Amino acid sequence: MTYFSPDPGTRPAPAWLPCGAIEHDVIGSLKSGKEAEVFVVEWRSLDDGRSCLLAHKRYRPTAVVKGELEARGFTKARSFVNDSVYHEGRRFRRTRDARAVARMTNHGKKLLGDRWVDHELDTMRTLWDAGAAVPYPVQLFDDGMLMELIGDAHQAAPRLVSARLSADELAAAFHQLVENLRIFAGASIVHADLSPFNVLWWDGRISIIDLPQSTDLVLNPQGFELMHRDVVRMCDWFCRKGFTCDADSVFADLLDAVW
Ligand SMILES: Nc1ncnc2c1ncn2[C@@H]1O[C@H](COP(=O)(O)OP(=O)(O)O)[C@@H](O)[C@H]1O
Ligand SMILES: [Mg+2]
């Protein structure tokens, strides 16, 4: 049993989210990706019995002892990704930690892994408050985060790559994407791994997910390059699907949102 009260952000938490004394059950595994495994969790209020389904994204441990993965409910270990480009502009305060990261010791890898988790939730919170179409970030756990499940009790939302959009839906998705990227840019956030695999489509709306590698647009010396890469990747996909758009004019539009 946990006690939950929503973070008092500038945008209210969704009304359907139970608060107070909560019990939760893991319903099943939704997706097993490279870095993380996403589980569906039922979240129930012990006060009034209201419930909802949430997504629990859990990062696999990088350094594990025999039997630990199975005991923690995972199927395989995470392959460690060198994420220095995304961490530009953020530093470790203690020199011992900085040395461990530089040498990539197990302690260093754990520090980087922990930061990814904290950072994903913080970024989602900032974006949610700014009005972006991201799942509502509910709570931080030591290995990941709990967030709104995009979808319903029968199916999770498909990713754009497999959503089979009509021409009108494709146009709507594109306009929503640009509107959201303006919000990202206005908050000085670059997704940095944006692709049709990290955009969900549900009920005529997009949701942008998978933000651990997001970085500061201005503080990171490669921020604008990463934003350009995101825009090009998305525009290439929309063009291949038959919706004509121009990455450079979207990029110029986003620069306007920054300045
Ligand atoms: N909030 C969510 N609602 C519904 N499905 C989700 C949600 N978060 C993640 N997923 C599903 O889990 C998959 C993996 O999550 P993602 O955050 O992209 O992690 P990674 O790609 O690093 O494994 C996504 O492609 C999506 O299908
Ligand atoms: Mg992903």
pLDDT digits (tens, 9 = 90+) for 27-51: 999 988 777 899 999 999 999 999 9
Q: What is the mean pLDDT of residues 95-123?
A: 73
Residue 25: beta bridge partners? 42
Which of 17, 27, 29, 31 for a ligand 1 pocket mutation test, highest count of atoms within 8 Å of Cβ? Answer: 31
As a whole number, the mean pLDDT across the chain is: 88
Closest protein CA for atom 11 of ligand 1: 31
Residue 96: per-residue pLDDT: 75
For tokens 């139970």, the residue is 18
Residue 116 is predicted with a pLDDT of 72
Is pLDDT at 124 greater than 90 in this prediction? yes
Residue nearest to atom 12 of ligand 1 (CA): 31
Per-residue model confidence as pLDDT tens digits over 165-210: 999 999 999 999 999 999 999 999 999 999 999 999 999 999 999 9
Whole-angstrom CA distances from 61 to 34, 77, 114, 144 are: 12, 6, 10, 10
Q: Is the pLDDT of residue 18 over 90?
A: yes
Residue pLDDT, tens place only, 45-102: 999 999 999 999 998 876 556 676 666 777 666 654 556 666 665 555 667 776 776 6
Question: Atom 20, ligand 1: which residue's CA is nearest?
Answer: 33
Instruction: Tell me what the mean pLDDT of segment 144-166 comes to.
Output: 96
Q: What is the pLDDT of residue 47?
A: 93
Helices 167-186 and 223-240 meet at what angle, rounded to 10? 170
- Asked whether 151 lines ligand 1 (CB < 6 A), one says yes
Ligand 1 site-directed mutation target among 17, 30, 191, 213, most atoms within 8 Å of CB: 30
Which of 39-43, 109-113, 202-206, 244-248 is least confident?
A: 109-113
Q: How confident is the model at residue 136, as a pLDDT?
A: 98
The residues facing 24 across adjacent strands are 43
pLDDT of 86? 64
Q: What secondary structure, in 3-state letters, does 98-117 show?
A: HHHHHHCCHHHHHHHHHHHH
8 A C-beta contact, residue 160 and residue 173? yes
Nearest to 111 by CA among 120, 102, 123: 102
Give the per-residue pLDDT at 88. 60
